[in-house]
Amino acid sequence: MVRSEVGEVLLTGNSTFHPFPSALSFPAGIPNDGIPIEDVVTVSVALTVVYVILATTGLVFAVGCLLFNIIFRQRRLVRLSSSNLNYLIGLGAIVLYVNVITLVIPTTNADFAAILCNTNPWLVSVGYSLCYGTMIIKMIRVWVIFNNILELKALRWNCILFNIPLHPLLRDNLLGLFILCLTIIDVFILLLFTVTEGVRGNLGVKLTTNQELPEETIGATAEYHKYFLYVCESDGASCPLRNSVWIQRAFCKVLALLLAFRTRNVKVKGLDDSVYIAASVYVTSIVLTVIIVSTYTLRDYVNAYPAVVGMGLLLGTTMILGLVFIPRVQLLQTLR
């Protein structure tokens, strides 16, 4: 037997030597020494089927609301609710329902995931501006008519009782331009966002947490699987741009609440939109808060993130459609 020295071990103080691996040696767990296999995970098929069915049902509902608006657009109650502006609400709802479908599309292809990553913010911004922006503009119209802003008290009641055309500042065409301006602001911010980051940030591959899927699973031949998913990552330099979008939307919501409070005493049928707008603002504010929090906390959860955000969009959009169109349907039924 040949004996040779290759080094020495020096123990000082209260040092402890562990001849075998233990939790004290590896606090994060004993690392695997097998062959690593990287797997890209995607949204579950069951979640995709459920949300596609819900979003498709919402699309049918939105199209039905638009058809109702087209068929009964000459009825007085429908015209008093700004029937031309209701088209924009329906169109925005369709865009948001389509966005829900894009959230739950299962894919393990990086290029296709990048397309979805860049498409979702545009769909949300355009749909949000059309739906919520139109409701705010309608609220402004009611507020102007019933608060004598233009000092047209006699004209106000003539417009209501005798169907006289409204003041040019209150016509649907000009109000539609205001909505277009809100949409253009969102588009401009998104363009700045795209220019700043190139393609809205880098499409990163990140390891999922143990909350939904184990990070490592020992295989039959000592290999272990590491699970990844595609997420949209943004450069920190663009945070002010992203925050400006949320600030703008928060300002619009506060404005809608203030106007709804100022017109809370409106009792004319067809013009009491403030009650419904206030209800929708309360609910959608909670939904929007949940979506914002989920965006920053659930991005690494392959199923939880699209489930929470998609459900928020479904609830908020359906709430708006229901509060805008269903009361008109009920009023027309009672007048028959």
Q: What is the mean pLDDT of residues 55-64?
A: 96
Residue from 114, 104, 102 nearest 205 by CA: 114
**Tens of pLDDT, residues 252-306:** 777 777 777 776 666 665 555 667 776 777 777 777 788 878 877 887 788 888 9
Q: Give the least confident one: 28-37, 60-69, 199-208, 232-241.
A: 199-208
- What is the DSSP code (8-state) at residue 306? H
Give the span between the Cα atoms of 332 and 205, in whole angstroms: 54
| 215 pLDDT higher than 80 | no
Find the mean pLDDT for residues 64-90.
84
Alpha-carbon dihedral angle through residues 11, 17, 19, 22, given to the nearest 10 degrees: -150
Phi, psi of 128 (to 5 degrees): -65, -45
Determine which of 6-15, 23-32, 66-75, 228-237 has the lowest per-residue pLDDT on average.
6-15
Write the pLDDT tens digit of every residue in 251-264.
Answer: 777 777 777 777 66
Residue 22's pLDDT band (cuts 50, 70, 90): low
pLDDT digits (tens, 9 = 90+) for 146-201: 665 444 444 454 454 445 455 555 666 777 777 888 888 888 877 877 776 654 44
- The secondary element (H helix, E strand) that includes residue 190 is helix 172-197
pLDDT of res. 162: 45
Measured between alpha carbons, how far is 253 from 259 in angstroms, rounded to an integer? Answer: 10
Among 76, 66, 65, residue whose Cα is nearest residue 332: 76
Give CATH for domain 36-331.
1.20.1070.10
Residue from 35, 22, 29, 30 nearest 226 by CA = 35
d(CA 322, CA 64): 11
Supply the Cα-derived Rg of the chain in whole angstroms: 28
Transcribe 74-139 into DSSP letters: TSHHHHHT-HHHHHHHHHHHHHHHHHHHHHT-----HHHHHHHHHHHHHHHHHHHHHHHHHHHHHH
pLDDT at 307 over 80: yes
With tokens 């349907």, the residue in question is: 329
The more confident residue out of 328 and 176 is 328
pLDDT of residue 222: 66
| Average pLDDT score over the chain | 73
Domain ranges of the chain: 36-331
Residue 257: predicted pLDDT: 72
End-to-end CA distance of the chain: 109
Provide the token pair at 246. Answer: 């949320």
Look up residue 130 and give its two tokens: 């059309």
pLDDT over threshold 90, residue 30: no
Please report the pLDDT score of residue 8 as a whole number: 57
Predicted confidence (pLDDT) at residue 244 exceeds the cutoff of 70: no
How crowded is residue 108: how many other Cβ atoms within 10 Å of its Cβ? 13
User: In this structure, are residues 272 and 320 in contact, taking their beta carbons and an 8 Å threshold?
Assistant: no
- What pLDDT was estimated at residue 101? 95
Cβ-based burial of 33 (10 A; exposed 0-12, middle 13-18, buried ≥19): exposed
- What the block records as the tokens of 118 is 């860049």
How confident is the model at residue 190, as a pLDDT?
Answer: 78
Average pLDDT over residues 202-231: 62
Q: Which residue has the higher pLDDT, 191 or 103?
A: 103
Instruction: Record the pTM.
Output: 0.78
Q: Determine the angle formed by the axes of helices 110-146 and 153-162, rounding to 10 degrees.
A: 110
Torsional sign, CA 75, 77, 80, 84: negative
d(CA 199, CA 219) in angstroms, rounded, equals: 38
Quote the tokens at residue 146: 């019933």
Percent of the chain's residues with pLDDT above 70 = 64
Q: Which residue do the tokens 């609220």 mark?
A: 139
3 state SS of 218:
strand
